[in-house]
């Protein structure tokens, strides 16, 4: 019989901003700590590897063909990761060693789209240290669209973890009813919402999704302080001069399937907070409402999901080539 209990870790950290090597080292240390506490799963915030593009709204990011924006973007691109290369090898290795699954917010440079456009991607790594899915954010929000590209449905997937079925979305994707519905229909009962930070993002929707889905909902945010801006970043002086003291204050939290807090939003500090959740509570709350089961009406409304990975070319090999 599968154990109903699952131990999860909420890792609210600040990246070593726009430095993938040092941020990876920090992520590995937190996974190691979670593993020592026997966590089955540890979750990090949106875009934490290597960081959220806070500079855009602080440095005139909307100006077309700006040499400033080009140079910062070029640096950002060098710090982005390819999840199918060796970039995530240290993360996968520690996940395998500690037998801890990981949800990690990344900035992805996608090899199948030429490698020079960026995607805000949620990566799921299983307990064996294998990358099982990469979900590219479907629609970047507002100024994010100046540096991130729109994703696709390929990563709308769920994964079994003990008694639970885990799925996740990036930031404001969690406000998209059909994206949530897609995961519900795949059996999700542990929803992971990752954010760049701020309690204002997490304090309402975390409990709302829990009540709507009758699932546990983990919201994990990043943290960002003026002191985290690295001097080697192009135009760092300009960025720092406009930077708020704490543009991302965290707000990581955990809600139960009845919408009640297990962990209320925590702000202003880095931490690893661990909690145990019980699948029996999911089953109990599904008794009177199950959004993809007995309370759905597929004869009236039905969702179509396209999980094809979008790319610009399809190569048909020539079998007669030398």
> Going residue by residue through the chain (322 aa), what tens digit of pLDDT does each one get?
679 999 999 999 999 999 999 999 999 999 999 999 999 999 999 999 999 999 999 999 999 999 999 999 999 999 999 999 999 999 999 999 999 999 999 999 998 899 999 999 999 999 999 999 999 999 999 999 999 999 999 999 999 999 999 999 999 999 999 999 999 999 999 999 999 999 999 999 999 999 999 999 999 999 999 999 989 999 999 999 999 999 999 999 999 999 999 999 999 999 999 999 999 999 999 999 999 999 999 999 999 999 999 998 888 877 765 6
Which position among 46, 144, 188, 285 bears the catalytic label?
46
Quick check: is 137 catalytic?
A: yes
Quick check: is 57 catalytic?
A: no
Which position among 171, 188, 199, 285 bears the catalytic label?
171
State the fold for domain 5-285: Nitrilase/N-carbamoyl-D-aminoacid amidohydrolase (3.60.110)
Greatest extent of the chain over all pairs of C-alpha atoms, in Å: 65
Burial 81-120 (b: 16+ CB within 10 A, else e): bebeeebbeebbebbeebebbbbbbbbbbbeebeeeebbb
Which position among 137, 144, 173, 253 bears the catalytic label?
137
| pTM recorded for the entire structure | 0.96
194 C-beta neighbours (distance < 10 Å), count: 28
Quick check: is 109 catalytic?
A: no
């Amino acid at each position: 019989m599968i154990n109903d209990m699952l131990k999860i870790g909420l890792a609210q950290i600040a990246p070593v901003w726009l430095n993938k090597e040092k941020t990876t080292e920090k992520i590995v240390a937190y996974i190691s700590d979670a593993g020592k506490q026997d966590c089955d799963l540890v979750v990090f915030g949106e875009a934490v590897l290597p960081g959220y593009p806070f500079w855009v709204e602080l440095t005139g990011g909307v100006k077309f063909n700006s040499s400033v924006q080009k140079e910062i973007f070029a640096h950002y691109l060098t710090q982005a990761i390819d999840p199918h290369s060796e970039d995530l090898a240290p993360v996968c290795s520690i996940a395998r060693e500690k037998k801890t699954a990981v949800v990690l917010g990344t900035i992805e440079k996608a090899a199948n789209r030429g490698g020079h456009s960026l995607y805000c991607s949620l990566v799921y790594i299983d307990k064996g240290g294998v990358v099982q899915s990469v979900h590219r954010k479907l629609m970047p929000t507002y100024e994010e669209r100046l540096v991130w590209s729109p994703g696709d449905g390929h990563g709308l997937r769920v994964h079994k973890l003990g008694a639970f079925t885990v799925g996740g979305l990036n930031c404001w994707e969690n406000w998209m009813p059909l994206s949530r519905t897609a995961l519900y229909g795949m059996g999700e009962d542990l929803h992971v919402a990752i954010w760049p930070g701020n309690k204002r993002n997490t304090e309402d929707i975390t409990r709302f999704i829990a009540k709507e889905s009758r699932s546990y909902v983990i919201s994990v945010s990043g943290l960002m302080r003026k002191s985290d801006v690295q001097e080697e970043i192009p135009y760092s002086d300009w960025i720092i001069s406009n930077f708020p003291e704490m543009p991302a204050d965290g707000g990581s939290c955990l809600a139960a399937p009845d919408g009640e807090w297990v962990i209320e939003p925590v702000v202003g500090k880095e931490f690893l907070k661990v909690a145990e959740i019980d699948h029996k509570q999911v089953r109990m709350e599904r008794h009177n409402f199950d959004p993809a089961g007995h309370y759905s009406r597929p004869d009236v409304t039905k969702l179509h999901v396209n999980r094809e990975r979008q790319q610009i070319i399809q190569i048909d090999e020539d079998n007669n080539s030398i």
